[in-house]
Chain A
Amino acid sequence: MQIRVALPKGRLLPETAQLTSEASWQLSDYSEGARLYHMTSARFPEMAAKILHEKDIPIQVAIGNYDLGICGLDWIQELLMKYPSSGLVKLKDLGYGALELYLATARSSPFTDLAKAGRSEQVISIASEYPCLAESLALNCRFKRFNIFPVWGAVEIYPPENADLVLLPFRTGQEMTTGDLTPVVKVLHSTAYLIANKNSWANKDLTDVLNSLYVKSSAPAVSSTPVEIRSGPIPKAPARPFSADYIRLALPDGHAQRHVVNILNKAGIKIDNYPSTDGSRRPEIDLPGVTVKVIRPQDMPLQVANGKFDIAITGQDWVKEHLYQFPSSPIKELLDLKYSRVRIVAAIHNDVPVNDITGLQKWAAAEGKRLRLAAEYTRIADKYARDNHLGMYRIIPTWGATEAFLPDDADVLIENTETGGTLKRHNLKIIETLFESTACLIAGVPALNSPKADQINNIAAVLRKAVEES
């Protein structure tokens, strides 16, 4: 009888690896640099373990793809808040990986007092990576009218201009003042948890595996250790405020930064503190009348559509993803920046004996399977499935490491790839290229219909010249 275990990537990996090592699981390569996501255990030959993004683990355990999993309580509560009847059992507080979820706002915000916010007639916007917890909080505070913006990250830079409130995690040593935040209320103290699927818990003998973990955790629990959050220095005010009087530009964080700097250099536009050396997300740009914040490219189309930014440098893939969900969204691509070229592809496991989507459909019908499509791009995946008449398909939203889902937890992967190398390494093959995507400059339609339009078009023209010259 196979025992399937989901283990986290990322911040919980080192201590989880230590835990499994002390429990003598003897896993094959459970480390940050692991090139494969599937692992076996020398001590428990019946164990099949997999490395998943921490955020994916509660749902994967709940739907029964895994018997056991380890992840943060924050993601467990996020799932249970929306789906209280999901098939998940919280088994044990493992004590490590402590963080605290806070509702926070800008120091200058009127929403430091929740009771006041509850009486407010204005629309209160809350940005968070935890949209379900945020919504529940808004309902419990009886906010009269609120919008929840689910974001991929960088939420600390949103208040006060891009969101009234943010729900975000803090770890020991982090500074609450990053982005000039002040706490409103502590929402949750989270640590790593061992969880089980309800059915597996009721019907499967997991005692050997559990015992190995429980022996180890007879050590004193450390979960009560408070998370110390330093109140750091108040960041100095940016030269240009992030106000609607200026053209508000969103620039991407992460690996796209060097490309952006490259194009700006070619266009003769100077930018300071980007990429940032001190974690600031407000670089200074040498473009008159322009003010900048650095956020995730995934979040830009929604922010521009809402008029929280006027222009943004994002990817065509995320613009498509946004427009598939909201076809009437008021955003427009102004310029193809022609870097970060990727293909968005449909891939399947090499063991499936077909080479195209029609073949896959026939194969699924013959096997009596309902096709499961795993993707970070859920709307693109959904459209692909509809356009190809996949019938009773299911979309499995993921937060990264999507290759790990095939072949056990999904049948098709919708993913971006530059060279196809990663797919090949995970024994996957591409059956179709959906489209090619590059970075692009987008603008909000209201901004293009405002007095800002001329200046926005000028910026686009300068960048177009730089792109054409390179």
Chain B
Amino acid sequence: MKIEKSKGMRDLFPADMARFRLINEVFRDSCLKWGYEEVRTPTLESLHLFTSAGTLTPSMLGKVYSFLDWDGWSGERVVLRPDATIPVARLYNENMADKELAKLFYIVNTFIFEENSKKNREKWQFGAELIGMRSPLADVELIVLAMEVLKKLGLNKVELKLSHAGLTRGILQKLGMNQEEQHQVFDKLLDGDASVLNQLQKEKPGLAPLLALQGQSSGFVKNLAAALALDAPELKPQIDDLVFIADTLKSLGQDFQIDIASVRGFEYYTGVIFQLFINDEKVGGGGRYDDLITAMGGKPTSASGFALYVDLLMTLIPASKLNDQPSSRVLLKMDADAAKAGFAMAEQLREAGCTVKLHLGGKGPAEMEWKLEVHTKAPWLVLTDLSNNKKYEMQTSKEVLEKLGRPSVAD
């Protein structure tokens, strides 16, 4: 009986990991250079971290991997983290709340049950959070950082979509619905049920159509501001932020689309939301979430952040980005009693930047460039260029390294 992996889980093969690590390195490098520091939160958190924040929709919370662990006699459940931002906010609130500004980035997996077992139930997210600063410039910084990472990965056709959770909620409030109804409509938008917008337009012809409009410039936002000025003057600060972000992005030459009510999956967001699409698939997103840290018992703290969806990005990286093979690949075959000389030789080659595989029997590994035989008598060293099978007999490791174009570091 061959034992198989658990449903909805995924093995990452060497080719997958090459892509994963490439994204990892590019992301990490960019974040460090923008002054972000790396953190990692535990895989297991208390379920109440996610329920007490009051922010994930019931339908999302109904799909988490929660269970009673060894301490579960108290009735407290634990959960495999279904989201990456909430734990980072918890980490900040628990340990760093005295900092004026925390710039954190993370590389973590999240777990959500997908009914279709062909979909991944474990997903990888690379994200950055900027906690402690109430500034639309921070939102722009995050957008620029996210775009920079994608560009460095060779992904140029990225579409940027801006939405606004605060504006959407504000307009819903103005439609004369009670709190329960507002909750329900917003939950539907969060769960991605677009039909609720059509229904709203029919039922509440006043402001509801504003939610469905789309635009491509700060002019659109200004028009929206004019439309709301009479009915909802209190939404002005939200609109000002959005105008600033739109204007700044324009000045940086960054195109975008504005779609106010497109908030799917952004449960705890309060301000601007940005989403990144490649070929109509969402590869990342983020935005402002100013109430999350208060909801977990912290002092009022502004925050925004974004995450890239790595599983999808892995499939999109162009092959040209992966063909870096800087090291020479050497197959080293030693005589039975030449182990000492053989291992020493291998060490020198690796130090010089070569990839060295030992010949362990059988046909030997494929895709090598050179073969080096190590003997206990002359010819001591035989180097074969496997592209043309040309053999070179040598005496010293120095000669070998020179032939490989890698002068010895020992000299």
Beta-carbon contact of A85 and B62 below 8 Å:
no
Distance in Å: Cβ of B65 to nearest Cβ of chain A: 12
B-contact 0/1 string along A102-141, CB 8 Å cutoff: 0000000000000000000001010000000000101110
**A144 and B51 contacting across the interface, CB-CB below 8 Å:** yes
B13 at the interface (CB under 8 A from A): no
Instruction: Kindly state whether residue B3 has any CB partner on chain A within 8 Å.
Output: yes
Q: Which of A139, A302, A305, A370 is close to B51, meaning CB atoms less than 8 Å apart?
A: A139
In the bound complex, how far is the Cα of B1 from the Cα of A370, in angstroms?
10
Indicate if the CB atoms of A328 and B71 lie closer than 8 Å: yes
Task: Indicate whether A139 sits within 8 Å of B61 (C-beta atoms), given known contacts A145-B48, A145-B51, A325-B68.
Answer: yes
Partner pick for B1 among A84, A136, A306, A368, CB 8 A cutoff: A368
State which residues 56-73 of B face A: CB under 8 Å: 58, 61-62, 68, 70-73
Is A302 a contact of B73 with CB atoms below 8 Å?
yes
Q: Is the CB of B48 within 8 A of A144?
A: yes
Q: Is A149 interfacial (CB 8 A cutoff)? A: yes
Set of chain A residues within 8 Å of B74, measured between Cβ atoms: 147, 305-306
B203 at the A interface (CB under 8 A)? no
Question: Scoring B residues 13 to 47 as 1 if CB is less than 8 Å from chain A, else 0, what string do you get?
Answer: 00000000000000000000000000000000000
Give the residues in chain B near A144, CB-CB below 8 Å.
48, 51-52, 54
- Pair A140/B58 contact, Cβ less than 8 Å: yes
**Among A85, A139, A368: residue with most chain B CB under 10 A:** A139
Q: Which residues of A are found within 8 Å of B369, using beta-carbon distances?
A: none
Cα distance A330–B51 in the bound complex, in angstroms: 26
Residue B76 interfacial (CB < 8 Å): yes
Q: How far is the CB of A185 from chain B (nearest CB, A)?
A: 14
Q: Which residue of A lies closest to B116 (CB)?
A: A85
Contact A322 B73, beta carbon cutoff 8 Å: yes
How far does the Cβ of B112 sit from chain A's closest Cβ, in whole Å?
14
> Which listed residue (B48, B51, B72, B115) contacts A326, Cβ 8 A?
B72
- A75: Cβ under 8 A from any B Cβ: no
C-alpha gap A392/B51 in the complex (Å): 35
Question: Does A288 make an interface contact (CB < 8 A)?
Answer: no
Instruction: Assess whether B62 is in contact with A136, with CB atoms less than 8 Å apart.
Output: yes
Q: How far is the CB of B90 from chain A (nearest CB, A)?
A: 14
Residues of A within 8 A of B76 (CB): 147
For B75, the chain A residues whose CB sits under 8 A away are 125, 147-149, 306
A332 proximity list for chain B (CB < 8 A) = none
User: Chain A contacts of B72 at CB under 8 A?
Assistant: 325-326
**Residues from chain B with Cβ under 8 Å of A368 in the complex:** 1
Interface size of B by Cβ–Cβ distance < 8 Å? 19
The docked-state distance in angstroms from the alpha carbon of A331 to that of B360 is 57
Enumerate chain A residues within 8 angstroms of B62, measured Cβ to Cβ.
Answer: 136, 139
Could you tell me the distance between the alpha carbons of A284 and B72 in the complex, rounded to whole angstroms?
A: 32
- Decide if A31 is an interface residue (CB 8 Å cutoff): no
Contact call B73/A146, Cβ cutoff below 8 A: no
A242 at interface (Cβ–Cβ under 8 A)?
no
Q: Is the CB of B52 within 8 A of A327?
A: no
Given the interface pairs A139-B62, A392-B3, the reply to whether A146 lies near B70 with Cβ below 8 Å is no
Chain A neighbourhood of B61, CB < 8 A: 139
Bound complex: CA of A145 vs CA of B47, how far in Å? 8
Tell me the smallest distance from the CB of A294 to a CB of chain B, in Å.
22
Contact partner of B73 (CB less than 8 A), chosen from A143, A145, A326, is: A326
Say yes or no: A305 contacts B73, CB within 8 Å: yes
Q: Which of B51, B54, B58, B115 contacts A146 (CB 8 A)?
A: B51
Smallest CB separation, B42 vs chain A (Å): 19
Give the docked Cα–Cα distance between A136 and B115 (Å): 17
Chain B's interface: helix, strand, loop or mixed, by majority? loop
Task: Give the CA-CA distance A326 to B48 in the complex, in Å.
Answer: 20
Docked pose: A330 CA to B52 CA in angstroms: 26
Contacts of A327 in B (CB 8 A): 70
Judge whether A329 is part of the interface by a CB distance below 8 angstroms.
yes
B110-157 with Cβ < 8 A to chain A: 115
Collect the chain B residues with CB atoms within 8 Å of residue A146's CB: 48, 51
Most buried by B among A125, A328, A368: A328
Set of chain B residues within 8 Å of A302, measured between Cβ atoms: 73
| Cβ–Cβ < 8 Å partners of B58 in chain A | 136, 139-140, 142
- Closest Cβ of chain A: how far from B318's Cβ, in Å? 37
Please name all residues of chain B whose beta carbon is closer than 8 Å to the beta carbon of A138 when the two chains form the complex. 51
- List the B side residues contacting A143 at CB < 8 Å: 51
Instruction: Give Cα A136 to B76, complex, Å.
Output: 15
Q: Mark A206-224, 1 if CB is under 8 A from B, else 0.
A: 0000000000000000000
CA distance in complex: A171, B1 (Å): 49
Q: Given A144-B51, A145-B48, do A84 and B73 touch, yes or no (CB 8 Å)? A: no
The answer on a CB contact under 8 Å between B51 and A329 is: no
Nearest chain B CB to A327 CB, angstrom units: 6
Max chain A CB contacts within 10 Å: which of B48, B61, B70, B74? B74
Residue numbers in B under 8 Å from A326 (CB-CB): 68, 70-73
**Cα distance, A145 to B76, chains bound together (Å):** 9
Given contacts A140-B58, A302-B73, A306-B73, contact A85 B115 (CB under 8 A): yes
- Smallest beta-carbon distance A210→chain B, Å: 28
- A330: nearest chain-B partner, CB-CB: B73
Give residues 229-273 of A contacting B (CB, 8 Å).
none
Contact with A along B75-87 (1 / 0, CB 8 A): 1110000000000
A82 to B169 alpha-carbon distance, docked (Å):
31
B48 (CB) vs chain A CBs: closest residue: A145
CB of A381, distance to nearest CB on chain B (Å): 17
A202 to B70 alpha-carbon distance, docked (Å) = 42
- Give the residue name and chain of the A residue nearest to B56 (CB): A139
A392 in contact with B52 (CB, 8 Å): no
Residues in B whose Cβ lies below 8 Å from that of A322: 73
With A and B bound together, what is the CA distance between A136 and B62 in angstroms?
Answer: 7
Instruction: Report the separation of the CA atoms of residues A412 and B52 in the bound assembly, to the nearest whole angstrom.
Output: 42
Closest to B61 in A: A139
**Closest chain B residue to A141 by CB distance?**
B58
A140: chain B residues at CB < 8 Å are 58
Question: What are the residues of chain B within 8 A of A305 when measuring CB–CB?
Answer: 73-74
- Interchain nearest-CB distance for A385 vs B (Å): 16
A residues contacting B by CB (< 8 A) are: 84-85, 123, 125, 136, 138-140, 142-149, 302, 305-306, 322, 325-330, 368, 370, 392
Residues of B within 8 A of A (CB): 1, 3, 48, 51-52, 54, 58, 61-62, 68, 70-77, 115
8 contacting pairs across A/B (C-beta < 8 A): A148-B75, A302-B73, A306-B73, A322-B73, A326-B72, A328-B70, A370-B1, A392-B1
> What 9 pairs between A and B have smallest CB-CB spacing?
A147-B75, A326-B73, A144-B52, A329-B73, A305-B73, A145-B48, A139-B58, A140-B58, A139-B61
16 additional A-B pairs beyond A142-B51, A144-B48, beta carbons within 8 Å, are A125-B75, A138-B51, A139-B58, A139-B61, A139-B62, A140-B58, A142-B58, A143-B51, A147-B74, A147-B75, A147-B76, A148-B77, A305-B74, A322-B73, A326-B71, A327-B70
